[in-house]
Structure 1
Amino acid sequence: MSGAETFLGRVTAFAEGPVAQAAQSWALGEDPDPQLTRDAAAIGLTGITTPAEHGGLGCGFTTLVEACAALAAVDFGFAMSLVNTQNVGLRLCLSAPDALRDAWLPRLLSGEVSACTALTEPGAGSDFAAITTRATETNEGWRINGEKKWIVNGRQAGLAVVFAQCGQIGDAGGIGGFLVDLGQPAVRRFPISSGFPQASMGTGGFVLDNVVAEGLLLPPGGAFKSILHEINAARSYVAAMCNAMLGTAIREAAEYGAHRTSFGKPLDQHAAWRQPLGAAETDLAAAHALTARAVAQIEAGQDAQLAAAQAKIAAVEAAQRHIPQMLHAMGAAGLLPEYCFTRHLAAAQVAGFTDGATHILRDRVARLTRSGTDISKR
């Protein structure tokens, strides 16, 4: 068994054990125990693709995607929380000066500190160039003013990569990426709650009032390009996570249907009951294929913007369409917290907004295909 297979086996056991036990309370709004994040870090979940020479596992993107899927099969939010911390750790290895990397990376890898990437603002989401948070260079370093909202790990993160405008508002080339210590008094943090519990994702935001950045990680002119590249990876692992959620919903409904009787025979012996499961399996197979293509392209260093957008559209829409159908196949029993449905129903909706809203991605796919993109080579 390879090192990656051993790691993924540990991730699956962790997800199906401690995470599954805790997730039932997260669906009711209870915050995760910080010890569970430290336990996840001990397995390596906060350093999956971090190079081994810096204390990480040094795995490839495919392994990261499979780990995210194994976690999301139980709880999408917790998976998103961990992968966001791991992504910031990798960014430190790629872009930070040695001293800054060495000061923060061990704390991320141990689970002592969680991290976030802060791009979204009250008035800017998918339109990245519209951000108004501003960075100004002074004799004391870069100072940042603005507000970030709808940030994964925004409630509890101790460290953030904050994207801010260094030039004119609307100029994508003026955006830079800054490392910010969120423990500063000038950072005012706030949680975001909704009818869909987001406790395990740590959704929140913060106001930056003349905050001094730790350093500039991505200079203007390069930060926006980095965003576009990294978001293709994010869309691909979000697609895999949606596939995992739908797969769990299908499995739980199928297991229930094999034992629950109606009119003298198990539910799965009724053709009308089986048909929604067949439709769900078909769409899931298509979403899996599109996701695998996107992941392979990213692993190979290819341009995956079309494949990643198509994968996310297919996976999100399949999850949003069929998880409710699987709940109806279960009946009222599916509302019980020991089943996945109340968590996954909400998560599928959240996934539709994450890393590019579905309607934005549909437009992107149309523009890429109309511009002569050869899908067969992707």
Structure 2
Amino acid sequence: MSHAFLDQVAHFAKGRVAAEAAAWSIGAAPEPALYHEAAALGLLGIEVPEEMGGRGFGFAIRAAALEVLAGADFGFAMSLVNTHNIALRLCEVGQDAAAQYLPDLLSGRMHACTALTEPGTGSDFAAIRTTARQVAAGWELEGEKAWIINGRQAGLSIVYAQCAEVGDSSGIAAFLVDLNAPGVTRYAIDSAFSQTSLGTGGFYLSGVKLPHEAMLAAPGTAFKAILQEINAARTYVAAMCNGMVQAALDSAAAYGAERCSFGKPLNAIPRWQTEFEAAQAALMQARRATEQAVEKVAQGADAQLAAAEAKISSVSCAQAQLPRLLQLMGAEGLRPGHPFTRHIAAAQMAGFTDGATNILKDRVARLTARKES
């Protein structure tokens, strides 16, 4: 069944997503119908139990599906998985929230997001300044979240807020927030790299009132829980970077076989083939690291080191090999119909997602030293 599912995902990615993604790279936005098609395939409920409307697969299938989707467009894949992650979390926290929101999430009618990052606070998660103050009827949230995937269009978010003093990781809690509630103001974030398929945005929380039951993870548990979720996210981002490099290799291989220079196909020119094979070898190495991380996450083992190493390896591979493969394409590779320019932009954004590469390298060094001591 999982093989058939991944075949369907590949058909959808190559036939529908890739065709639309060329326009997203220059500012157009995905049509709502595309999210509904993704939902019909089960992409918004890959790991959601079948009895709750999902496909009931494991983490390895989530990573594999995202790798295929990212080969067509990284941002669209990230948008889908962020909604998926909220749906999966609601299945774990209680029937009431699941019954209220799962139908809209799994059908693609509602987007969702996880809100950690704030202006001036990224990888240093413990430094978040959004506050949750206990009031008679429940909680009141104040603060701002920025650079949130799906932030511009999400209707639902799990928001992390500080219930104690800033810098106290044990005071951080997680809250389920309806982003259409009074006091929430959303905004889009754009840059020179198009972020429409990511849905990047932020929102202000001004006196947002929540009932007691909106707290999904209490202080003392939320910080640890999100670190575990980040290990999974780092792993599937690694897989997604691999998918982008594979798509670029496929495009370059096809072009190298048909484009002639000096009377012979490009792939018959030794220097061209040497560069191509170097990119293939780099991808193989990145995939080995990713496979190790996927196995640990799927088994529920400690994946801190493996996930960080996989993300570093795959992001670095994508950032180095995508420009290399574009060079093999020449100016033809700049056309929006090819994936090179949007994948190069996405590889840079992947380097910031779920832990910046430079900070992850420091983390790997600490974890390795601890392991060897």
TM-score relative to the length of structure 2: 0.98
Identity %: 55
Whole-angstrom distance in 1 between the partners of 2:5 and 2:362: 38
2:186 paired residue number: 189
Whole-angstrom distance in 1 between the partners of 2:363 and 2:58: 27
- Report the AA paired with residue 206 of structure 1: F
- 1:218 and 2:217 are equivalent in the alignment: yes
* Equivalent runs, 1:174-323 vs 2, <5 Å: 174-213=171-210, 215-323=214-322
Whole-angstrom distance in 2 between the partners of 1:251 and 1:316: 19
Is the 1:26–1:199 contact (alpha carbons within 8 Å) kept by the matching residues of 2? yes
Q: Deviations over 1:180-234 (max 9, x none)?
A: 0001231111100000001000000000111123601111100000111000000
- Report the AA paired with residue 87 of structure 2: G
Aligned equivalent of 1:11, options 9, 12, 26? 9
Please identify, of 3-12 and 196-205, the stretch whose mean Cα deviation from structure 2 is larger: 3-12
Structure 2 portions without partners, runs of 5+: none
1:114 paired residue number: 111
Is the 1:161–1:177 contact (alpha carbons within 8 Å) kept by the matching residues of 2? yes
SS of residue paired to 1:326? helix
Whole-angstrom distance in 1 between the partners of 2:253 and 2:247: 10
- Report the AA paired with residue 109 of structure 2: E
Aligned equivalent of 2:60, options 54, 59, 62? 62
2:149 paired residue number: 152
Whole-angstrom distance in 1 between the partners of 2:372 and 2:185: 45
Q: Deviations over 1:32-78 (max 9, x none)?
A: 11111111111101111011121111110000001111100000000
Deviation at residue 8 of structure 1 after TM alignment: 1.1
- Report the AA paired with residue 169 of structure 1: V
Structure 1 portions without partners, runs of 5+: none
Please identify, of 3-12 and 146-155, the stretch whose mean Cα deviation from structure 2 is larger: 3-12
Q: Deviations over 1:146-176 (max 9, x none)?
A: 0000000001000000000001100001000
Whole-angstrom distance in 2 between the partners of 1:213 and 1:200: 30
Is the 1:181–1:213 contact (alpha carbons within 8 Å) kept by the matching residues of 2? no
Is the 1:180–1:212 contact (alpha carbons within 8 Å) kept by the matching residues of 2? no
SS of residue paired to 1:356? coil
Q: Deviations over 1:119-143 (max 9, x none)?
A: 0000110000000000111122111
Whole-angstrom distance in 2 between the partners of 1:344 and 1:279: 19
Whole-angstrom distance in 1 between the partners of 2:257 and 2:96: 58
Deviation at residue 357 of structure 1 after TM alignment: 0.3
Number of residue-to-residue matches in the alignment: 371
* Equivalent runs, 1:34-53 vs 2, <5 Å: 34-53=32-51
Whole-angstrom distance in 2 between the partners of 1:275 and 1:261: 17
Deviation at residue 373 of structure 1 after TM alignment: 4.6
Whole-angstrom distance in 1 between the partners of 2:193 and 2:8: 29
Whole-angstrom distance in 2 between the partners of 1:35 and 1:373: 51
Q: Deviations over 1:313-350 (max 9, x none)?
A: 00000000010010010000001111101110100000
2:95 paired residue number: 98
Q: CA RMSD in A?
A: 1.0
SS of residue paired to 1:73? helix
Please identify, of 268-277 and 57-66, the stretch whose mean Cα deviation from structure 2 is larger: 268-277
Please identify, of 68-77 and 180-189, the stretch whose mean Cα deviation from structure 2 is larger: 180-189
1:24 paired residue number: 22
2:166 paired residue number: 169
SS of residue paired to 2:249? helix
Q: Which of structure 1's runs of 4+ aligned residues deviate more than 6 A? A: none
Whole-angstrom distance in 2 between the partners of 1:373 and 1:9: 42
Whole-angstrom distance in 2 between the partners of 1:134 and 1:106: 30
